[in-house]
């Protein structure tokens, strides 16, 4: 499964392989434009949840260079993040700041519809930030996210839900504070498995040979001790959008 644009269905998920990271990033941007345009034809507001990481930011560089982005009414797009580092607004290590710098802030978005997780400059604790974020999700009226975009770490984590970490087990909540993260910074805020699953489509976007084992575990449906990714599927579709290196173990 290493050729250009290989498409396979494995374990009830669709796996689409692009030859390299740049091709993958460009394809994700094009796919997202189509998904938003299709959704806007049938509903007023479209809810998209974003991810951090290098590919999560590359997506916005690809989007900024994509002429078809003008087909979207960006003022009717509500943006969320699956997780955020509990750092002050604008900190270069925050997912939203990295997305902005890559090209997200060049889009004509309605600032009131860009839902950023509060940091220590605006909230007393990660717990309070998680509560505020959950309340914002509820108040938005989103029955489900239209597209949930998730990166996957080499250890199989998604958002800030690390395999075997206590935060994985949060139930009956939309967002959770994460302490002692195995990956710095140690304090984060994350949507829960329950919230991530409330998505019409879930897209796992992954590039790099160092993530090939995590991709294989996620696609195969490994347990939560090995793969957080395997615990989340979309209500209508689950996509693994990966490059050839990340597909090496499939």
Supply the DSSP string of 168-204, one letter for each residue. GG--S-SEEEE-S-SSSSS-EEEE-HHHHHSEEEEEE
User: What pLDDT sits at residue 3?
Assistant: 44
The model's pLDDT over 183-240, given as tens digits with 9 standing for 90+, comes to: 999 999 999 999 999 999 999 999 999 999 999 999 999 999 999 999 999 999 999 9
User: What pLDDT sits at residue 9?
Assistant: 62
Residue 11 three-state SS? coil
User: What pLDDT sits at residue 143?
Assistant: 73
Strand partners, 177: 189
**Residue 10's pLDDT band (cuts 50, 70, 90):** low
Domain 6-117+145-159+198-224+239-243 falls under CATH 3.40.390.30: no
Torsion of CA 35, 66, 56, 7, to 10 degrees: 60
Task: For residue 84, report the phi and psi dihedrals to the nearest 5 degrees.
Answer: -150, 145
User: What pLDDT sits at residue 199?
Assistant: 97
User: What pLDDT sits at residue 191?
Assistant: 96
User: What pLDDT sits at residue 2?
Assistant: 41
Give the count of beta carbons closer than 10 Å to the beta carbon of residue 11.
12
* CA dihedral for 184, 138, 55, 223, sign (positive or negative): positive
Supply the DSSP string of 14-32, one letter for each residue. EEEEESSHHHHHHHHHHHH
% of the chain exceeding 90 in pLDDT:
89
Q: Average pLDDT in the 63-67 region?
A: 96
- CA-based nearest residue to 238, from 193, 214, 205, 194: 205
pTM of the model: 0.94
Asked if residues 116 and 72 have their Cβ atoms less than 8 Å apart, the reply is: no
The model's pLDDT over 116-152, given as tens digits with 9 standing for 90+, comes to: 999 999 999 999 999 999 999 999 976 799 999 999 9
Residue 47 three-state SS? strand
Q: What angle do CA 67, 68, 71 make, to 5 degrees?
A: 125
HSE at residue 201, side-chain half, CA atoms within 13 A, is 19
């Amino acid at each position: 499964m290493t050729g250009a644009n290989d498409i396979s269905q494995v374990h009830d998920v669709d796996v689409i392989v692009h030859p390299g990271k740049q091709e993958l990033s460009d394809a994700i941007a094009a796919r997202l434009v189509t998904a938003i345009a299709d959704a806007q034809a049938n509903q007023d507001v479209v809810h998209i949840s974003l991810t951090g990481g290098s590919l999560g930011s590359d997506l916005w560089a690809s989007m900024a260079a994509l002429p078809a982005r003008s087909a979207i009414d960006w003022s009717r797009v509500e943006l969320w993040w699956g997780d955020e580092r509990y750092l002050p607004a604008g900190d270069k290590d925050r997912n939203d700041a990295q997305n902005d710098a890559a090209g997200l802030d060049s889009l004509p978005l309605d600032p009131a519809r860009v839902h950023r997780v509060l940091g220590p400059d605006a909230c007393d604790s990660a717990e309070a930030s998680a509560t505020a974020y959950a309340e914002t999700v509820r108040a938005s009226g989103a029955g489900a996210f239209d597209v949930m975009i998730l990166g996957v770490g080499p250890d199989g984590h998604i958002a800030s839900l690390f395999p075997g970490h206590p935060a994985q087990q949060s139930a009956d909540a939309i967002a959770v504070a994460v302490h002692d993260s195995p990956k710095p910074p140690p304090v984060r805020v994350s949507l829960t498995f329950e919230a991530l699953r409330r998505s019409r489509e879930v897209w796992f976007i992954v590039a790099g040979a160092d993530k090939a084992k995590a991709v294989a575990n996620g696609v195969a449906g490994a347990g939560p001790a090995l793969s957080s990714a395997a615990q989340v599927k979309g209500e209508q579709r689950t996509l693994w959008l990966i490059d050839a290196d990340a597909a090496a173990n499939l």
